[in-house]
Amino acid sequence: MPLWAKTGKTMGAVTVTNLTKTYEKGSVTALDDVSFRVEAGELFGLIGPDGAGKSTLFRILTTLLTADRGTAGVDGFDVVKDYRKIRNTVGYMPGRFSLYQDLTVEENLNFFATLFGTTIRENYHLVKDIYEQIEPFKDRRAGKLSGGMKQKLALCCALIHKPTVLFLDEPTTGVDVVSRREFWTMLNRLKEQGITILVSTPYMDEAVLCERIALIQTGRILSIDTPDAIVRGYPDRLFAARTDDLPRALADLRANPSVRSTYAFGEYLHLAFRQNDTENVSGLSRYLAEKGHSGIEIKPVTPTIEDRFIDLMTRETTPS
Amino acid sequence: MNTKEQKAIVCRDLTKRFGDFVAVDHISFEVERGEIFGFLGANGAGKTTAMRMLCGLSHPTSGQAAVAGFDVYRQQESIKRSIGYMSQKFSLYENLTVLENIEFFGGVYGLSDAKLNRRSERLITTLGLGQEARKMVGSLPLGWKQKLAFSVAVIHDPAIVFLDEPTGGVDPVTRRQFWDLIYEAAGRGITIFVTTHYMDEAEYCNRISIMVDGRVEALDTPGNLKHRFAADSMDEVFYQLARGAKRAAD
């Protein structure tokens, strides 16, 4: 019986309390007093750009790095005192490929199973869906695999010991839309098996695929909640506007005093007014027409996670 | 006037084979001067190989292409002098200061001292890097590095700049500031050839091509592509085209 099975109630949960981590003799703050809790069986996303502190947090939780201040626990074990126990029960897929390049696909998987005192056969049901996709290449050296296949093998290796918590550090970075969708389908199947999953991503559109998310930027959590609740927290009414000349429209909207913020968003510009006023839209349409724009369209839209992230980010940097 | 000279890029049946493997399979397209051209494709579709040929770094197996009017077989050095290149992975020299990086790349691109001085002053002001000019690039936040890397890639006013996933991992505000720089460069007549995995950025391009298994499967404006595939977003267009890809993703 694996160790975690005896400990009972906290299995699969992750707690982070006032974690702070600095580098370069304190001059670079990677994590700044971060606290949150992930429940057992949850699919939890850390959403933020490079340098937000996502990888540092994962390394602390997987006991590979110690924090300057604060505490953290996985499965009820402390990441410092009980690091050996945690290492036995968690699965970790780092951002950089970390398998043995000169072992074959099958040898890598076998190696990781052996390392954790299990066999491929014992937990094959966990990796079956994913492993079947790379099985035709099981005799190929890992170093010779394509990026997508390496990613699948790394996931199998992180799963083969039936971890209670799976840490995935930017598994979809640099991956195309099709492979990203496939990857999220795999994650949801793993969740159904009861594994707690912490996944980080710089892609805001992936946030909605998690049950709860933390928006993280320069070591601080901007917001933490369900994706729906985070979007509902967007404070203004949001509008989408477009004309036949978007770059010029963006400059003109920025110059308009009634507009609080505006930025490009796909085929539209998103904008929020300084004050909610029923005359806003008609006034702005007239303004754009006077500036010589054609094809003017302004309509209310539902904010996305990215809108909320931008909103929170700009509030952090410009306190007004 | 020769039409080839009016186009930034002209490609006819451009092909690259590695043994039996056809990495780029008879691709044909033209890019106008000053256009923002999005070059999309699934991982492993052949984008990087195609870009390497267009940048004069790799000889095609067959087909023709001219970049800034120069032939990709015979005038690779002229191509290299006429283009700028920036990628997410290509970083500036981290242990040189901002100013030293600008001077180094300006020198590599053959700018005269007088010109380089004027340009670097303008660049530092535009980017608001006055305070950081003498700091090591390694100490700057990623977003600033990316903006600086782009500015350095166009410091010699190239005919075309190739951007390979320039905004990967950058926060959403900086990502948009980066596109402001792209529009500004396009406004100065620099042709932009850009790859990205952010489908909202595909919308910022004048036209996009989507590569699947070595071939250009679609090429049009974002609006026309969405119309043709009856899709709400470029994400959906891309998905419809690329999900049938036979090549393993890499």
Which pLDDT belongs to residue A150?
Answer: 87
A&B contacts, CB < 8 Å: 99
CATH superfamily for B3-242 is: P-loop containing nucleotide triphosphate hydrolases (3.40.50.300)
CB proximity list for A163: less than 8 A, separation 6 or greater = A89, A90, A91, A195
Cα-based distances in Å from A229 to A47, A162, A222, B27: 15, 32, 13, 46
Which pLDDT belongs to residue A318?
Answer: 53
What ipTM does the predicted assembly reach? Answer: 0.83
Which pLDDT belongs to residue A7?
Answer: 46
A313:B169 CB<8 A: no
Instruction: Locate A78 and state its tokens.
Output: 């402390």
A204:B243 CB<8 A: no
Chain B residues lying within 8 Å of A306, measured CB to CB: 172
CB proximity list for B82: less than 8 A, separation 6 or greater = B67, B68, B70, B158, B159, B160
Separation between Cα atoms, residue B117 and residue A18, nearest integer Å: 48
Instruction: Locate B190 and state its tokens.
Output: 């620099």
Chain A residues lying within 8 Å of B39, measured CB to CB: none
Task: Tell me the pLDDT band of A8, cut-offs 50, 70 and 90.
Answer: very low
Q: What is the mean pLDDT of residues A14-38?
A: 94
- Is the pLDDT at A2 greater than 50, yes or no? no
- Is the pLDDT at A294 greater than 70, yes or no? yes
The answer to whether B9 and B53 have CB atoms below 8 angstroms apart is no
Q: What are the tens digits of pLDDT across the range A211-243?
A: 999 999 999 999 999 999 999 999 999 999 999
Cα three-residue angle A162-A163-A164, rounded to 5 degrees: 120
Separation between Cα atoms, residue A55 and residue A201, nearest integer Å: 10
A178:B171 CB<8 A: no
Of A260, A217, A215, residue with least CA distance to A238: A260
Task: Tell me the pLDDT band of A317, cut-offs 50, 70 and 90.
Answer: low
Instruction: Locate B16 and state its tokens.
Output: 């690259």
Separation between Cα atoms, residue B25 and residue B47, nearest integer Å: 11
B248:A149 CB<8 A: yes
Nearest beta carbon to residue B168 from set A173, A267, A313: A173
Nearest beta carbon to residue B250 from set A147, A205, A263: A147
Out of A263-267, A276-280, B238-242, which region has the weakest mean confidence (pLDDT)?
Answer: A276-280
Percent of chain A with pLDDT over 90: 74
The answer to whether B65 and B12 have CB atoms below 8 angstroms apart is yes
The answer to whether A153 and A145 have CB atoms below 8 angstroms apart is yes
Instruction: Locate A203 and state its tokens.
Output: 């892609």
The answer to whether B58 and B52 have CB atoms below 8 angstroms apart is yes
Instruction: Locate A62 and state its tokens.
Output: 């997987």
The answer to whether B205 and B222 have CB atoms below 8 angstroms apart is yes
Q: What are the tens digits of pLDDT across the range A176-209?
A: 888 888 889 989 999 998 999 999 998 888 999 9
Separation between Cα atoms, residue B178 and residue B114, nearest integer Å: 27
Q: Which residues pair with B38 in a beta bridge?
A: B194, B208
- Is the pLDDT at A163 greater than 80, yes or no? yes
The answer to whether A154 and A100 have CB atoms below 8 angstroms apart is no
Separation between Cα atoms, residue A108 and residue A227, nearest integer Å: 36
A264:B204 CB<8 A: yes
Residue A272, number of CB atoms within 10 A of its CB: 20
Computed over every residue of chain A, the mean pLDDT equals 91
Which pLDDT belongs to residue A10?
Answer: 63
B249 DSSP assignment: P
Task: Tell me the pLDDT band of A128, cut-offs 50, 70 and 90.
Answer: very high
Phi, psi of B193 (to 5 degrees): -120, 110
Tell me the shortest Cα–Cα distance from B183 to chain A, in angstroms: 7
The answer to whether B106 and B156 have CB atoms below 8 angstroms apart is yes
**Full 3-state SS string of B159-222:** CEEEEECCCCCCCHHHHHHHHHHHHHHHHCCCEEEEECCCHHHHCCCCEEEEEECCEEEEEECH
- Is the pLDDT at A91 greater than 70, yes or no? yes
B248:A175 CB<8 A: no
Nearest beta carbon to residue B170 from set A49, A149, A267: A49
Which pLDDT belongs to residue B5?
Answer: 52
Domains of chain A: 3-231 (3.40.50.300), 235-302 (3.30.70.2070)
Of A78, A68, A90, A63, residue with least CA distance to A2: A90
- The alpha carbon of residue A273 and the mean position of all alpha carbons in its chain are separated, in whole angstroms, by 30
* Buried-state track A251-270, b at ≥16 Cβ within 10 A, e below 16: ebbeebeebebbbbbbbbbb
Q: What is the mean pLDDT of residues A30-50?
A: 95
Separation between Cα atoms, residue A129 and residue A137, nearest integer Å: 15
A141 DSSP assignment: B
The answer to whether B33 and B196 have CB atoms below 8 angstroms apart is no
Chain B residues lying within 8 Å of A146, measured CB to CB: 43-44, 248-250
B199:A177 CB<8 A: yes
Chain B residues lying within 8 Å of A246, measured CB to CB: 204
The answer to whether A109 and A101 have CB atoms below 8 angstroms apart is no
Instruction: Locate B61 and state its tokens.
Output: 């197996």
Chain B residues lying within 8 Å of A49, measured CB to CB: 142-143, 169-172, 174
- Is the pLDDT at A279 greater than 70, yes or no? yes
End-to-end CA separation in angstroms for chain A = 57
Separation between Cα atoms, residue A299 and residue A240, nearest integer Å: 5
* Buried-state track B130-158, b at ≥16 Cβ within 10 A, e below 16: eebbeeebeebebbbbbbbbbbbbbbbbb
Task: Tell me the pLDDT band of A24, cut-offs 50, 70 and 90.
Answer: confident
Percent of chain B with pLDDT over 90: 73
pLDDT in tens, chain B (250 residues): 444 457 999 999 999 999 999 999 999 999 999 999 999 998 889 999 999 999 999 999 999 999 999 999 999 999 999 999 998 776 799 999 999 999 999 998 889 999 999 999 999 998 888 899 999 998 888 888 989 999 999 999 999 999 998 988 888 998 999 998 998 899 889 999 999 988 889 999 999 999 999 999 999 999 999 999 999 999 999 999 988 777 754 4
Nearest beta carbon to residue A174 from set B197, B233, B238: B197
